[in-house]
Structure 1
Amino acid sequence: MAFESNFVTFIGNLTDDPDLRFTQGGAAVASLRVASNRRWTGKDGQQQEETTFLNVNCWRELAENAAESLHKGDRVLVIGRLRVRSYENKDNQTVWVTEIEADEIAPSLRWARASVSRTSGGSSGGGTNNDFAPPPPSDDDVPF
C-alpha cells in the first residue's frame, strides 16, 4: 500500500445542520459546511480577520452519526482528504470545488462538553485494520 499523504485536519464551526441524503444504492451521505476564522494583527496594528469555508462530505455510518449528533454552530474537528472536482453549472460554465472527504468528524471539546454513545452495527476495530473508511461510491452514485 502506498503512503497516503493527502490528509488534512480542519477545525471550525458548522454553518448549518448536516444535510443527510441517501444514494440510489442506499448509501448515506452527509454534507456539512464548516467555517474557520483566522485573526491576526496587521502591520498597522489593526485586527484583521479572514474566514475560510469548506464543504465536507462523509459517507455511511459516519454520515448518519454526524447528522444525528451535530448541529449548526457546533465546533468540529474534521480529518480527511482534500478533493478538487469540477462540474458544469446552469450557464455551462465550469465550476471548481475544493472539499474534504471526511474519515473522522468529532465535536471540539475546547468550549463544550459531549457525551459518547456507541451505535450498534459499527466496527469495534478488534483484530481488523479499519484505519481508513472505504472509498465513497462511484460518481454515478453521488446524489448531487
Structure 2
Amino acid sequence: MADFTNRRQITSVTQLTPVQAEQLVLCGAAYDGEDLPADRRLSSDPEDESVLHFCEFWDVVADGSPVYEAWFYQADSGSIFLAGTTKMVAEIIQCGLECADKERELELGAAMVRASLLPSGDSSFERFRQVADATP
C-alpha cells in the first residue's frame, strides 16, 4: 500500500536535488512542451508564463520506503516519477490520474484518494476509493 507523505511547497531550485530539478524540467515539458531550466519553472516574475504555479512535491512511500516522487502544479496537473529517477510513470491531467500500467494506476489512485488528492467528482474516484477501502 502506497501513501503520499512529506508534502513540500517548492519555490526555489535550492530546495531540490539535481534529480528533482530534472524532474521539474520534465514536468514543465509535459505540461507545455517547452524545454526550460528548473529555475525558469519556479520564476517569481509574474510576467513569466513558464512558471509552474502552486508547485508541490510529495514522497510516495510503501512499507516505509520511497517508491515514487510526485509533483503537483498549476492547480490541476502533476507528474509522478519512480523515486530518485527521471522516469515518469504517471501524470495528473485536469485533476485525474493517467497511468498506462493498470496495477500502478490502482496503487497510486488509492493513495491519492487516501491523501485527498483526487477530487470526488473524478470519473475514477469511486473505483480508487473501493481499492483504498479494501487495502488494510
More helix by share: 2
Task: Give the structure-2-normalised TM-score.
Answer: 0.27
Task: Give the structure-1-normalised TM-score.
Answer: 0.26
More strand by share: 1
Larger Cα-atom Rg: 1
